[in-house]
Amino acid sequence: GQQVMQIPQYQHVQEGEDFTTYCNSSTTLSNIQWYKQRPGGHPVFLIQLVKSGEVKKQKRLTFQFGEAKKNSSLHITATQTTDVGTYFCAGLRRGTSYGKLTFGQGTILTVHP
Amino acid sequence: DTEVTQTPKHLVMGMTNKKSLKCEQHMGHRAMYWYKQKAKKPPELMFVYSYEKLSINESVPSRFSPECPNSSLLNLHLHALQPEDSALYLCASSQEKRGGMNTEAFFGQGTRLTVV
C-alpha cells in the first residue's frame, strides 16, 4: 500500500532556531496537505500543494512540493513556543479515490524558551 | 461557521455496551470522514461518506457501524468493542470537488473513547 514516510519523528529546538520536517512517498502524489495538531487538540489544516515544484509561504512557514511529486517539506524559520505540536503531512496517491489521504507519522516539535 | 462539532468529548464504555458518536457540520460540505487516532500516531482513515453515501470503508471491523442521516450529520455506532479500540475518534468534513482533488479537511475536537 501507499507509504508516506515522515522524518524526523521528534525535534527539540531552542526558541529562535529553525525547524524542518520532511515527507517522502513511495508513489507519485496528486497533492499533499500539511496539518498541525497541538497537544490535546485536533489536526488543523495548514496548506495544500498541488503542482510539481510548488513553494508556498505562510509568514515563517515555507512549504515545498518536490519536482517528482513524491516528497515535500515544511520549514519554520525562527521557531516560537506557539509552534509546539505535531506536524503531519497527508498525501493523496494519484489515481486513488477522493478522500483517501494517507498521513505521515508526524513530527513532534518541542520548542524550549 | 467553520466548525465540526463532535459529541461526546469523552466516553467510557464496557465491552458489552452499545454507544454512538455524533458529528455535525454546517459548512455545506458533502464529504465526511471518520478517523481513529492512537496516542503519538497519525489519524487512520476509517470511513468516507460522499453525498451521504459510504464511499470508502478501510476494512474496519463490523463492531464499528457508520451512518450518515443527512448532509450535516455523521454518526459512528459502537458495539462490542475491545480495549484496543480505545483511541481518539475524529470526525472531519471537506468540500468535494469534481476531478477528485481533495480540499481542506476540517476536523472536530474528537471523542476520546476508553473501552473497559
**Is residue A45 within 8 Å of residue B105, measured between CB atoms?**
yes
Residues B108, A97: C-beta atoms closer than 8 Å: no
pLDDT confidence of residue A93: 79
Closest CA to B18 of B78, B76, B74, B61: B78
Q: How many CB atoms lie within 10 A of CB B45?
A: 21
Give tens-digit pLDDT for A85-113: 999 999 987 776 667 888 999 999 999 99
b/e for A71-97, b at 16 or more Cβ within 10 A? bbbbebeebeeebbbbbbbbbbbeebe
Cell numbers for A38: 497541538
Q: Which three cell numbers stand for residue B43?
A: 489519524
Cβ distance A48 to B104 less than 8 Å, yes or no, reads: yes
Mean pLDDT of chain B: 93
Sign of CA dihedral B29, B30, B31, B34: positive
Alpha-carbon dihedral angle through residues B61, B43, A48, A70, given to the nearest 10 degrees: -80
pLDDT at B45 over 80: yes
Inform me whether the C-beta atom of residue A1 falls under 8 Å from chain B C-beta atoms.
no
Q: Each residue of A18-71: pLDDT tens digit?
A: 999 999 999 999 899 999 999 999 999 999 999 999 999 999 999 999 999 999
The reported pLDDT for the residue numbered A97 is 67
Cell of B98: 469534481
Say if A55 is an interface residue toward chain B (CB within 8 Å): no
What pLDDT shows up at residue A29? Answer: 92
The confidence score (pLDDT) of residue A59 equals: 97
Q: How many residue pairs from chains A and B have C-beta atoms closer than 8 A?
A: 71
Preceding peptide of A39 cis, ω within 30°: no
**What residues in B contact A94, CB-CB < 8 Å?**
none
